[in-house]
Structure 1
Amino acid sequence: MSATRTGRVRFSIVAMLFLVTAVTFADRSSMSIAGAALQADLGIDALTLGYIFSAFGWAYVVAQIPGGWLFDRFDVKRVYGIALLCWSALTFAQGFVGFLPVAWTVASLFLLRVAVGLAAAPCFPGNARIIAAWFPSSERATATAVSGSAQYCATALFAPLMGWVVQTFGWQQVFIVLGGFGFALCFLWARTIHSPRLHPRIGAAEFAHIEHGGGLLDLTPLPATGKPRQRGHLWQLLSQRTLLGIYAGQYLSNATTYFLLTWFPVYLVQERGMTLMAAGFAAVVPAISGFAGSLSGGMLSDRLVRRGHSLSLARKLPIVTGMSLSACIGLCVFVDSDAAVLALMGLAFFGKGFGTLGWTLVADTSPRQIVGLSGGLFNSFGNLAAITTPIIVGYLVSRSGSFDLALAYVAANSLLAVLCYLLVVGRIQRIELKD
């Protein structure tokens, strides 16, 4: 059924998710844009910078399961809106730590990055929960790809701007600008997001299209459950081979994402000899490639579903193909020209985007009653890479004096993700919750 006949309200919902996710990832990557200038200004080494990069990830991982549980227990719109306000305020506050002594600046940045990770934790489970409510199965991969592609679009939109801000005004101003963007989105969020049942502009045809296609329809919470039952739900998720394979695959594939969000601009400045502004513009190449790959992979997956292919083929084919291409990042070790490096990075991030269907798999396979909890667990596993990747890359660079081993590490993670989806993840189908 065409979008014209069914209505377009659901597309405004995914557009809002795209905007919020773009600002979220801009907040995450703000430290990478400021990283080289911050390192020079404070006189810290690569390993210390790696720990600052990882600070977000420590809290983000710890808070994922509680964050996902919040969406199963409380109103999704309200929880997400509060999280958006908090992470915007915390990002804004990072712009003022430069007035402190150096030791305090490092400690304050680390603690504020931890707090940003706590505040941002519910957001991706929230995206999955909202998409599961608003989109039928035949459109879910595309909707997930659109919202997920914001992680690449954020770099394309903000990296040149932030590079200019750092070079012109100093690294502290990056956080003030991004915090201001977040505050503006808080008001837009309150006006835009509603559940399908309560949206003032949805028509009967669009509501029926969502309902008949398997949309969950509500953003309101389930009845409260006690702690023993919550632990039982968690155990059921961890005992499913399919879900464990999806969770592990997300961790492995996220090594590429967190290299882009943390060390990539530093790599361009220190290894390739670019200026901060040139690095900001160069970061647009893999970002746009990832954006194009994400949309292409999502649309291909949904097209395969509409043509009658199984969910297993429709979801796994883009993932396996994309993560195989993502391993091309390791070939940067063997080329000398900046143009060749950017071409390989573009190909690698196109592949990473093409295979970014993990959240679609969460919506396809998780028990209906605990999509938020499953999403939180999925993001906990996946964002362990936010801790390990910056630290391991920092260690390898510090020990070897170059990025060669670091690039090989990222490429190896992509190949292991391919094996995980081929050998561990089984048939893609919804798992039923047991009493």
Structure 2
Amino acid sequence: MPDVDPDLTTSPQPDTVEHSLSAAPLPTRRRWFMLSLLLIATIINYVDRVNISIAAPFMAKDLGLDKIQMGLVFSGFAWTYALALVPAGFIADRFGSRFTYGLSLITWSAATVGQGLVGGFASLFGLRLAVGALEAPAFPANSRAVTVWFPARERGLASSIYVCGQYLGTALFTGGLLWLATTYDWRHVFYSTGLVGILFGIAWLYLYRDPLACKRVSAAELKYIEDGGGLVKSSQQRTRFNWRQVGELFGYRQIWAICIGKFASTSALYFFLTWFPTYLIEERHLTMIKVGIFAVMPFLGATVGILLAGIVSDTLIRRGYSMSFARKLPLVVGSMLGMSIVLVNFTDSNLVCIAVLTTAFFAQGIASASWAAVSEVAPKELIGLTGGITSLAANIGGIVTPIVIGGIVHATGSFAYAFWFIGAVALCGTLSYSLLLGRLYRIQLRAR
């Protein structure tokens, strides 16, 4: 495996880069507008994943679904999502973020509306499979957009901002969606979230552009992005897919380590996206009002975690630390702190329980800075495909975790062993990032 970064011998010192780039005038800051679109799209993306957990207690009773069936419903999204990620990454590279994301938004949102019309397990499970497949292009398109729109020294924060959308949606809208479910019925949760996604998908197609296709970005901003390591010209490249490229990517330890680490981090994420409200209601015996308040806290903690990771990582780079150290530090710290989730088994206090879970999800937010690492190591020709491969590994955790937790709760009547499972997976992520990952650098594909 290659172990030398060819750019290290030619790259200017960080202080020199920062001085020369900051000296250039920036009459436009169009990249931040594009990032705001990514943030909104990611919020909608995750609200349409988590809405099932908010509706679940009402839906299960209404449709007569047991814990095993609900575990399958919770995991159904991740089955097709994981399988579709590699082709979705190629589609993002081939057709660009604008078309790929816009079509994805509109179609998955239509399937979300359809979930409000289901009459039983089969139709619900089928639509969860559909939503998973149709959402698959989102994060590869996110990764590609940030890599072409942002210089390296801003990429950590930019990645953190759009990733925090996966927590903000739940934090902002859980109370409102619970109100819909209790005031009207659980079907209105899907009607409302799906309609918002369709409308924003149309707006995305109208507003988003890659750098060289954007008429409102100045030449000075384009130069700033490109001189800082943003792959502006890659936004016009159209890659032809070859399965050998997938095999070649797996020849690098960075890819394996990020895949294992993402699997671990996503396992914790999917507990909060699926079983968390059920845990609060059935094991902690909280009222709906308290669930609406307490369920928000871990998501706020995770939002702070991912933003803090991005800020610290970019600050370290600007202060002269290596990119590799700056991007790896949050991954190791976040994965290690994520093991604290097992402490919830040692308290009867609901307040302490929420504090522990908030800390654990804060840690998961820090570890989610792995998207910045993906942007740094992905070959410039295969940004979307690399994001798809690593996201595939992550979302295997989304398949495994809801089913395992459902099986544990069904067999034992308690969530205790579920938390031990999540803690053990977090340990695997810590070992992967600290021992296997090694030094980060952009992979150079062999000439063909």
Q: Please tell me whether the aligned partners of residues 156 and 287 of structure 1 are also in contact (alpha carbons under 8 angstroms).
A: yes
- The within-5 A match list for 1:232-381 is 232-381=244-393
What is the deviation of 1:224? 5.1
- The within-5 A match list for 1:211-226 is 211-218=226-233, 220=235, 222-223=237-238, 225=240
Q: Please tell me whether the aligned partners of residues 96 and 141 of structure 2 are also in contact (alpha carbons under 8 angstroms).
A: no
Hey, what's the Cα distance between the residues in 2 that align with 1:170 and 1:275?
17
Find out whether 1:203 has 2:215 as its counterpart.
Answer: no
Hey, what's the Cα distance between the residues in 1 that align with 2:382 and 2:89?
9
> Unmatched 5+ residue regions in structure 2?
1-20
Q: Which of 122, 127, 131 pairs up with 1:116? A: 131
Hey, what's the Cα distance between the residues in 2 that align with 1:236 and 1:3?
40
Instruction: Report what 2:117 is aligned to.
Output: 96
Hey, what's the Cα distance between the residues in 2 that align with 1:424 and 1:168?
51
Find out whether 1:174 has 2:186 as its counterpart.
Answer: no
TM-score, normalised to structure 1, is: 0.95
Find out whether 1:428 has 2:443 as its counterpart.
Answer: no
Q: Percent identity?
A: 38
Instruction: Report what 2:104 is aligned to.
Output: 83
- The within-5 A match list for 1:144-163 is 144-163=159-178
What is the deviation of 1:276? 3.1
Hey, what's the Cα distance between the residues in 2 that align with 1:46 and 1:205?
57
Q: Please tell me whether the aligned partners of residues 258 and 390 of structure 1 are also in contact (alpha carbons under 8 angstroms).
A: yes
Instruction: Report what 2:15 is aligned to.
Output: none
Hey, what's the Cα distance between the residues in 2 that align with 1:124 and 1:211?
22
Q: 2:146 is paired with a residue of what secondary structure?
A: helix
What is the deviation of 1:28? 0.3
Instruction: Report what 2:4 is aligned to.
Output: none
**Residues 49-77 of structure 1, C-alpha deviation per residue, up to 9 Å, x if partnerless?**
00000110000001000000101222321
**Residues 6-33 of structure 1, C-alpha deviation per residue, up to 9 Å, x if partnerless?**
2321111111100000010000001111
Find out whether 1:164 has 2:185 as its counterpart.
Answer: no
What is the deviation of 1:312? 1.7
Q: Please tell me whether the aligned partners of residues 55 and 181 of structure 2 are also in contact (alpha carbons under 8 angstroms).
A: yes
Q: Please tell me whether the aligned partners of residues 162 and 280 of structure 1 are also in contact (alpha carbons under 8 angstroms).
A: no
Q: Please tell me whether the aligned partners of residues 73 and 221 of structure 1 are also in contact (alpha carbons under 8 angstroms).
A: no
What is the deviation of 1:86? 0.2
What is the deviation of 1:275? 2.5
Hey, what's the Cα distance between the residues in 2 that align with 1:37 and 1:339?
25
Hey, what's the Cα distance between the residues in 2 that align with 1:283 and 1:343?
11
Change (3 A) 1:309 1:332: same
Find out whether 1:64 has 2:85 as its counterpart.
Answer: yes
What is the deviation of 1:188? 2.2
> Unmatched 5+ residue regions in structure 1?
none
Q: Please tell me whether the aligned partners of residues 337 and 360 of structure 2 are also in contact (alpha carbons under 8 angstroms).
A: yes
**Partner letter of residue 399 of structure 1?**
A
**Partner letter of residue 16 of structure 1?**
L
What is the deviation of 1:328? 1.4
Hey, what's the Cα distance between the residues in 2 that align with 1:89 and 1:308?
47
**Residues 182-235 of structure 1, C-alpha deviation per residue, up to 9 Å, x if partnerless?**
01212321232111112122122211110101111157453453x6xx111111
Instruction: Report what 2:64 is aligned to.
Output: 43
Hey, what's the Cα distance between the residues in 1 that align with 2:258 and 2:92?
21
What is the deviation of 1:427? 0.5
TM-score, normalised to structure 2, is: 0.92
How many residue pairs end up in the alignment? 426
Q: Please tell me whether the aligned partners of residues 293 and 352 of structure 1 are also in contact (alpha carbons under 8 angstroms).
A: yes
Hey, what's the Cα distance between the residues in 1 that align with 2:210 and 2:23?
19
Hey, what's the Cα distance between the residues in 1 that align with 2:332 and 2:56?
33
Q: Please tell me whether the aligned partners of residues 21 and 148 of structure 1 are also in contact (alpha carbons under 8 angstroms).
A: yes
Find out whether 1:400 has 2:400 as its counterpart.
Answer: no
- The within-5 A match list for 1:17-36 is 17-36=38-57
What is the deviation of 1:3? 11
Q: 1:369 is paired with a residue of what secondary structure?
A: coil
Change (3 A) 1:2 1:178: farther
Change (3 A) 1:372 1:284: same
Hey, what's the Cα distance between the residues in 1 that align with 2:280 and 2:388?
33
Q: Please tell me whether the aligned partners of residues 76 and 221 of structure 1 are also in contact (alpha carbons under 8 angstroms).
A: no
Hey, what's the Cα distance between the residues in 1 that align with 2:32 and 2:184?
38
* Root-mean-square deviation (Å): 1.5
Identify which range, 4-13 or 157-166, moves more after superposition: 4-13
Hey, what's the Cα distance between the residues in 2 that align with 1:288 and 1:43?
33
Hey, what's the Cα distance between the residues in 2 that align with 1:125 and 1:86?
17
